[in-house]
Each structure stands twice: as structure tokens, then as C-alpha cells.
Structure 1
Amino acid sequence: MKDSKQEVKDSKYLISHIQSQYTRFSKGQKLIAQYILKNYDKVAFMTACKLGETVGVSESTVVRFANALGYSGYPKLQDALQELIKNKLTTVQRVDMIKEFNDDSAILKKIVKSDIDNIKDTLDEIDEKAFEEASNRILKAKRIYIVGMRSSFTIAQYLGFYLGIILDSVHVIRTDMGDAFEQVVKINEDDVLIAVSFPRYSKKSYQIVSYAKEKGAHIVSLTDSLFAPVASFTDNLLLVKSNMASFVDSLVPALSIANALIVSVGMKEKEDIKQHFDDLEAIWEKYSVYDK
């Protein structure tokens, strides 16, 4: 059986694989294959039970179909299908895929459970060596640039805020403060660029990362896929699970990894941080920044 990383890598060949294996499937499995080939964007968000009901086979037949394709279980087949479509779905299509959740209780449970599952899968599969090296490179960099467009800007801004407390020369690239390239024009081999990129992938983020790589900067990426545009330029790839449960991208796992990265860098600068926070506390007290 394939490991999870191999399953993800093979996702782009899934449709052709189903077609090539079709004659070997049982009668029930052929019904599933036919439905997936015509409706793979819908199947990506169906449970095994729901797919079985739709096609007219048992849930166990659906599970065996996933196994026949070489996946360790139906959830891994779903991951592969979602990998194929996540950047192709329009916002309208994302809304359509959750129309079955028509009450608040179901929505609450579905979304929170999805975030929990994404965090667990992220922890299981993240490259710890890449994480450690990313932390060390950020600490030693002359300047740290952080880019994240659209919804990914939330994570970029969070990283910038806390890394800016720990380190000097942290720059969050902002589209409301001039052209993005003007803000990274001085980037060089002494610097680190942290890219935060999740579907639908921003073309501007890809362009900035490409430019930074040409200038010799070290690239750290928080993204959800080996096939994300920024991944090909990345030195330290921090893969974050972000399987979609709605029209809203789940950034909870990305925020968790960003948090871990901040703490990792911070603990290496523990004494300097303590002094810095002592100074800040004095300022906050003097100017009544916080309510008591």
C-alpha cells in the first residue's frame, strides 16, 4: 500500500489511472468509476456512504474501490480528488458543494471537525527537518520578507507581527503600500522570503517568490500541496492540510504552523525576547495601552 506522500503525488494521475484499471473492476466498482469520471468534483466532498447511496452500491464496495486504486482508505481517495480540483473551483461551485448542510448545528460540527482533522493530518505529515531548518534560516537572515495575498494575507500579517517583535527587519509585503515588487527589490542571498499560499493560488505571490529565488533568497513556504505554484521554488516546504469543507478556505492549520514557527524562533532568542518584553511592558504601563 502506498504511503500518504506517494498518494498525494499520484493524485494528478488519478483519472487516467481509473480509466486504465476500469476493465479489472467488479460490476459495483465500475459504477463508482463511471460516476467519478463524470462527477469527480462532486465526489471529492461526498462521504463513502453518500457515494454508495448515489451510485447504488454498499459503503464497503466504495472502500474496496479506493483500495483497488492503491489508496489506504476512502479518505485518501478523497484527498487525491480534492487535490485535483481545489484550485479550479469557483466560489459559486464551493457554495454549491455544501448545500446539503442546511442547519446551523450541522455546519458547526462539519467545519470544526474538518479543522481538527486538517490539524491532525498536518502534524502527521509535516517535514520536521524542513521546519527546523526554516526556523534556523529565519533566525540568521539579514531581512525577512513575508508574502501572502488575499485570504493568505491573514497568516502573513500574523507572522509579521510576532516575528517583528522577536527580530529586526521583518517586512510584510502589502498591496496597499505600492507595488509588491518595489517592496522586495533589495532582496538578496542574505534574506529569507516566507510565502503563504493557499487556493485559489495568487499569481502575484508566485511572481514574487520567483523573483526572490532569482535574487538568491532562501524560500520558506506554507502551502497545502506539492503542486502549489510556489512549491517549485521552495527550499523549506511546510505542507499544511487544507481540505475544503466550505466556500471558506480553512486557515486554522496554517495559523497553527505559523504559531509553532514563531515560538521556535523565539525560544532561540529567549533572553533577548525577555528584555524586549520588559521594555514593552514599561511602555504599555506608561501609556495605558491595556485595560487593567
Structure 2
Amino acid sequence: MDNPIIQLKNKISELTNTQRKVADYIIKNPVDVAFLTVDQLAGLVRTSTTTIMRLTFSLGYSGYTEFQKGLQEILRNRADPNTRLAANLRDTNRSDLWIRCAENHINNIQAAVDMVSAESLQKTLEMIVSANRIYCTGVRSGLPVAQCLTYGLNRLLGNCDLVHADHFEWTERVSSFNSSDLIIATSFPRYARKVFDFVKAARENNAQIISITDSYSSPLAKYSDVILPCNVSSVAFHNSITAPMFVADYIISAVAINYSEKTKHRLDKLDSILKESNYHLS
């Protein structure tokens, strides 16, 4: 389901005067409405619950409850950190925060499992092992995921670099990209412009693109060969990277296991070098 606020704004000209009054209140007070009952909202706007229900039906929702859940999800995932925190605080019992945090991580991982198709995963692996060079990029909450992928894939394949999109070294590299180069970009709301600019420029130079992002409507989607959507909602203000890290870990594991003939020799050689240099304590 699309963003409830955007839906209201797009449909507002088609609404009755009473429905428009409700829509205007929701657009101006999304955090409050996300946790108001339908009776409370009706009282504040001085209308009937029937009017509110008809409004949510017209947007494609089964009722006010489904509309409200969509509003809560948008606030948690896409708003600025202060708004997200305010929304979560309204719905959090601090005494069970430990359990709620664990449940949130589990739900995010399960959502990734449900959203990512087997075909997308297989295409991801094929693109990785056939690429000449791989560049993993991300900033802010996406950066740890890019770092994890870079470390793991470089150990396996030896052709992976980290590109910090907030820095400008990629502008010198991107002009020489071609179809044998692969970009794995990680970006979540609020999407970083520099990651988008890098992906766009890479695509214009025929590089292949895999995007680990929050949805198929992400700004990265239009330039991507493969999209791996991950829910990044948290119980506080931030993007939770548990699900994206799960995806990254899967990619590294799947490359190692499914292409062991290609990776085993390099892993053995690296391990030999580490032993010779007495790198580990034991």
C-alpha cells in the first residue's frame, strides 16, 4: 500500500467537503492520528465515524485500522528521526522494550524473506561472480552494510572495493565503468542524494546495479537491475540495519557455498598468508 499521506494529497480534490476536512487534519497531524481511535478523530474533527470510514475505503483500505497501521509504518520508516521517535514513544511500553526490540528485528528479517524472490537472489549471485569489479557503496545507516559486503566479497573474490558516496573519489572512477562493473548500493529513508547520484552516473556508464533498499518505490529502483527490499523500521528513531545485514550475510555465504570452486583457492591462500605472518593470537 502506498504512503497514506500521499494518497490523501492526491485524492483531496475528489473528496466531499467533510472528508476534505478530515484529510486536512490527518495531513497536518499525522503523528497524533496514527494513535487516535476513530471515535477520537471524529470528535476532534467534529464529524462522524462513518465519514472517516468512507474516506479510508475510498483510499483502498479495508477500514480505519488498516489505514492507521499504514500511517504508523510510514512515520517509523520515512519520517525524520524526531518524528519517528515521537511516533514510537506513543506506542511503546518501556518495561518490555527488550522483547519488543527483538520482535522488531525478527519481523524485519521475516519481511525480507517474504519480499525477496528466489529469482532475485540467484540473479544477484550470478552478477557478483561474473563481475570484473564490484563497488559497494552506502552512507550513514547503509555504510555498515556496504562495509560488511566489501569485506566478505573481497575475501572471496578479491575484486571488491568500498566507495563512500559522501566522498568524491567516485567521480573520477565512474567515467571508466562499463557493463562488467557491478555496483551494490545500500540506501534507506531518508535517502542520501550522493548514493543516488553515484548509482545514476554508474548506470549511465553501463554498470550493473544491485540495490539493497527499503522498497520497490525507492529512488534507486529505476536504475537497478535487482532490488533486494528490506524493512528497516526500529523501535526508536533510527533505521535498523538488522535485515539488510542479514541479506548481506546471506550473499557472502551463498557466494562461498555455491561457488566454492571459485573461492576456495583464494580463501586457502589468504589463510596461509595470515598463518605465516602470525596474525592471530591462537
Q: TM-score range by the shorter chain?
A: 0.7 to 0.9
> What is the alpha-carbon distance in structure 1 between the residues aligned to residue 165 and residue 113 of structure 2?
32
Deviations 1:76-100 (A, max 9, x none): 753366448844x333333333334
The aligned counterpart of 1:3 is none
CA gap of 1:38–1:99, structure 2 versus 1, over 3 A, is same
Are 1:78 and 2:56 matched, yes or no? no
The aligned counterpart of 1:262 is 252
The aligned counterpart of 1:140 is 130
> What is the alpha-carbon distance in structure 2 between the residues aligned to residue 175 and residue 289 of structure 1?
32
Q: Secondary structure at the match of 2:220?
A: helix
> What is the alpha-carbon distance in structure 2 between the residues aligned to residue 284 and residue 33 of structure 1?
63
Q: Give the structure-1-normalised TM-score.
A: 0.77
User: Is the contact made by 2:170 and 2:198 (CA closer than 8 Å) also made in structure 1?
Assistant: yes
CA gap of 1:176–1:238, structure 2 versus 1, over 3 A, is closer
The aligned counterpart of 2:46 is none
The aligned counterpart of 1:94 is 84
CA gap of 1:285–1:8, structure 2 versus 1, over 3 A, is same
Q: 1:129 aligns with which of 84, 106, 119?
A: 119
> What is the alpha-carbon distance in structure 1 between the residues aligned to residue 181 and residue 67 of structure 2?
37
> What is the alpha-carbon distance in structure 2 between the residues aligned to residue 100 and residue 41 of structure 1?
9
Q: 1:13 aligns with which of 7, 13, 16?
A: 7
Q: Secondary structure at the match of 1:200?
A: coil
Are 1:187 and 2:177 matched, yes or no? yes
Aligned length: 275
Q: 2:155 aligns with which of 156, 160, 165?
A: 165
Gaps of 5+ in 2: 44-49
> What is the alpha-carbon distance in structure 1 between the residues aligned to residue 68 and residue 255 of structure 2?
36
> What is the alpha-carbon distance in structure 1 between the residues aligned to residue 166 and residue 228 of structure 2?
27
The aligned counterpart of 2:214 is 224
State the 1:201 CA deviation: 0.7
Q: 1:284 aligns with which of 271, 274, 277?
A: 274
The aligned counterpart of 1:248 is 238
> What is the alpha-carbon distance in structure 2 between the residues aligned to residue 63 and residue 128 of structure 1?
38
Q: Secondary structure at the match of 1:156?
A: helix
State the 1:33 CA deviation: 6.1
User: Is the contact made by 1:79 and 1:243 (CA closer than 8 Å) also made in structure 2?
Assistant: no
State the 1:19 CA deviation: 7.6
Q: Secondary structure at the match of 1:225?
A: coil
User: Is the contact made by 1:193 and 1:219 (CA closer than 8 Å) also made in structure 2?
Assistant: yes
> What is the alpha-carbon distance in structure 1 between the residues aligned to residue 234 and residue 129 of structure 2?
33
RMSD, aligned CA: 3.6
Larger mean CA deviation between 269-278 and 72-81 belongs to: 72-81
State the 1:166 CA deviation: 1.4
Larger mean CA deviation between 275-284 and 224-233 belongs to: 275-284
The aligned counterpart of 1:119 is 109
1:204-219 aligned within 5 A = 204-219=194-209
CA gap of 1:245–1:104, structure 2 versus 1, over 3 A, is closer
> What is the alpha-carbon distance in structure 2 between the residues aligned to residue 123 and residue 20 of structure 1?
38
Q: 2:191 aligns with which of 164, 179, 201?
A: 201
Deviations 1:206-235 (A, max 9, x none): 100110110011111011123322111111
Q: Percent identity?
A: 26
State the 1:193 CA deviation: 0.9
Q: Which amino acid aligns with 2:178?
A: N
Gaps of 5+ in 1: 1-6
